[in-house]
Amino acid sequence: MELIRGLHNLRARHRGCVATIGAFDGVHLGHRAVIRHLLDKSAALGLPSLIMVFEPLPREYFAPLQAPARIMSFREKCQALQALGVDRLLRIRFDEALRSMSAQRFVDEVFVAGLGVRYVVLGDDFRFGSDREGDFRFIREQGKRHGYAAEPTPTETVDGERVSSTRIREALESADFDTAQRLLGRPYSISGKVVYGRQLGRVIGTPTANLQLHRLRAPLAGVYVVQVSGGGLENARGVANVGVRPTVDDSIRANLEVHLLDRQIELYGQHIEVTFRHRLRDELKFDSVQALRENIARDIDHTRAWFERQSRRTH
């Protein structure tokens, strides 16, 4: 998959494509329905498929501290879209110039002049433009003027309700991982590169792999039973803390720390995937490092017990 980093990097060879636009946060079942539609049209017309996304997301631009937590990072989104077979991803910087751009101007300058779109596939709820005029009806009418076709993708539902990123965030916040999996089409996970932390875990006897989430907050917080893959591991059992480490750190930026059960392996610099299975407790601030150590020991015991219960259920 080709990543086009900004409108200024569009070239003549990028003209002529089947395109869609959206946030695609989570690349959930609703997004996948749009992408299947996109790829089908791409194959039928013999044209490259292209997805446009905004970075940062508009709500992050307007109110970064109040914006919803991302379900996945931009890197994870790229990996998911590439795995689905998308040809090109156009990353459009959302800034003041784009915020003030009307839907009409966006179609003229991006859809037509920049990309020369031949076919547009769109989810039925997406809107863009400073005037919020850019919905499917608008794009279809513009297509009649500019010579491209447009087609909507019907809403995808699970349990009679629309699949949405908001619904997934609510499921993750309440630790309803079964519902999150049904909406995503896969278990929920966070992936990233293992970086050096404060080494406190080694000092208190529970070394951790630390992942920087590159976001102000995650869609979940607390202590969880997890499985870890990557860096030579496959579904290794572990216990993870997602949050801001209130006992040892004053940072407001979210972190993910994972302690592997019965495994000691050097993971610095490796990319790993942490899959969430069960919530143990909230993230707490303890009065001392000793109290933290004792609670971590209990978390490890509870994690072992959870895996043992799951093992008995499958035998």
Count of Cβ atoms closer than 10 Å to residue 73 Cβ: 16
Looking at beta carbons, which pairs linking 298-302 to residues 24 or more positions away fall under 8 Å?
299/223, 299/239, 300/206, 300/239, 300/259, 300/261, 302/225
Selection from 271, 263, 265 nearest residue 300 by Cα = 263
The CATH homologous superfamily of the domain defined by 2-162 = HUPs (3.40.50.620)
Q: How far does Cα 190 stand from its chain's mean position?
A: 8
Residue 283: CB partners within 8 Å, gap ≥ 6?
Answer: 221, 222, 223, 241, 242, 243, 244, 245, 246
Task: Give the C-alpha separation, 2 to 91, whole Å.
Answer: 11
Residue 40: CB partners within 8 Å, gap ≥ 6?
Answer: none
Task: Give the C-alpha separation, 206 to 296, whole Å.
Answer: 8
Task: Give the C-alpha separation, 123 to 153, whole Å.
Answer: 5
Handedness of CA 249, 280, 70, 169 (dihedral sign): negative
Where are the domains positioned within the chain?
Answer: 2-162, 187-313
Task: Give the C-alpha separation, 7 to 95, whole Å.
Answer: 12
What are the structure tokens assigned to 193, written together? 């590169």
Q: What is the dihedral of CA 250, 255, 261, 266, to 10 degrees?
A: -100
Quick one: pLDDT at residue 285?
78
What are the structure tokens assigned to 156, written together? 């995808």
Task: Give the C-alpha separation, 234 to 250, whole Å.
Answer: 33
Q: Could you list the pLDDT tens digit for every one of the 315 residues in the chain?
A: 999 999 999 999 999 999 999 999 999 999 999 999 999 999 999 999 999 999 999 889 999 888 999 999 999 999 999 999 999 999 999 999 999 999 999 999 999 999 999 999 998 778 888 877 889 999 999 999 999 999 999 999 999 999 999 999 999 999 999 999 999 999 999 999 999 876 555 555 688 999 978 776 789 999 999 999 999 999 999 999 998 754 445 555 688 999 999 888 889 999 999 999 999 999 887 777 788 888 899 999 999 999 999 988 876
Quick one: pLDDT at residue 217?
78
Are β-strands 222-230 and 233-243 bridged in parallel, bridged antiparallel, or unpaired?
Answer: antiparallel
52, 20 contact by CB (below 8 A): yes
Q: What is the CATH number of domain 187-313?
A: 2.40.30.30
Task: Give the C-alpha separation, 94 to 114, whole Å.
Answer: 17
